Amino acid sequence: MGLNSFDAVAGPRPQDVLPESASVAVKIVVVGGFGVGKTTLVGAVSEIAPLTTEETMTQAGAGVDDLFGVEEKSATTVAMDFGRISLNDRLVLYLFGTPGQQRFWFLWNGLFEGALGAVVLVDTRRLESCFDVLGRLEEGGVPFIVAVNQFPDAPQHSLEDIRLALDLSPDVPLVGADVRHREAGRDVLLALLRRLHTLAQPLEAR
C-alpha cells in the first residue's frame, strides 16, 4: 500500500485530507507488539477522526494471541490505523499503525511502502515482544526510534537499562512517553523527525 493507495481498507485517500496550505507529506509507521498502544498513539495525535480497523477479539484468538500483561484487552487492530497531524503550515505527517499480532504481519510490507521512518512502541511488561519488530526494521533498513509507553502498572526501569535490554545501538533515540496524551505523542514524532534529519546529513556533519 503506497501513500496514494488505500486499496486494502476502505477510507479516505491522503490527497483528500491534505490541508490546502501543506506542501510536504511524510509517511510514518507506528509498529510494536500486541497491545503496546499503537492505536492509542495514532488516535491521540491525529487532528482528524482516525481511521481504525479494530475488531472485537474472539475465541478464535485464544492460544494464538499472547495476552500476558494485557489481559483486559478486548479489541485488536486487524489491518491498520490511519491518522494525520500537521506539524506546521507546510509539513503534514500521515500515521499508519500496524497490527501487532504476528498472524497479521503479512500486511506490514504494504504499510511500509513509501514510509520515511518508524516509531517502535514497547511495553516494559513484555519487552521480548518487540525483538522481532526491531529485527525486521533493521533488516529492511527503515530508520526508527523506540518509545517506551509508560503504562501506570508497568515495571519502571531507566531508559539506560531498557536500551541495554533491547541491545539498541547508541545512535537510536529512546524516549519515554504516555502516548494517551497528545503532547507526549507529538514529542515522540518530533524525536523521529530529528532522527531522520540527522541521517540525511553528510557523515562529517553529524
User: Would residue 8 count as lying in a domain?
Assistant: no
Of the two residues 2 and 27, the one the predictor is more confident about is: 27
First-residue to last-residue Cα distance in the chain: 33
Report residue 161's pLDDT band, with 50, 70 and 90 as the boundaries.
Answer: very high
User: Would residue 2 count as lying in a domain?
Assistant: no
User: Would residue 142 count as lying in a domain?
Assistant: yes
**Distance (Å, whole) CA 125 – CA 156:** 9
User: Would residue 164 count as lying in a domain?
Assistant: yes
Determine contact, residues 76/21, Cβ cutoff 8 Å: no
For residues 175-204, average pLDDT: 92
Give the model confidence (pLDDT) of 32-88 as tens digits.
Answer: 988 899 999 999 999 998 887 655 544 444 444 454 444 454 444 445 789 999 988
Residues 6+ apart with CB under 8 A from 26: 91, 92, 93, 94, 116, 193
User: Would residue 20 count as lying in a domain?
Assistant: yes
CB atoms within 10 A of CB 58: 8
What pTM was computed for the model? Answer: 0.76
**Distance (Å, whole) CA 93 – CA 62:** 36
User: Would residue 49 count as lying in a domain?
Assistant: yes
**Distance (Å, whole) CA 9 – CA 40:** 19
For residues 119-141, average pLDDT: 91
Identify the domain containing residue 171 by its residue range. Answer: 14-205
The CATH number assigned to the domain holding 113 equals: 3.40.50.300
pLDDT at 166 over 90: yes
**Distance (Å, whole) CA 99 – CA 107:** 8
User: Would residue 162 count as lying in a domain?
Assistant: yes
Number of compact structural domains in the chain: 1
User: Would residue 9 count as lying in a domain?
Assistant: no
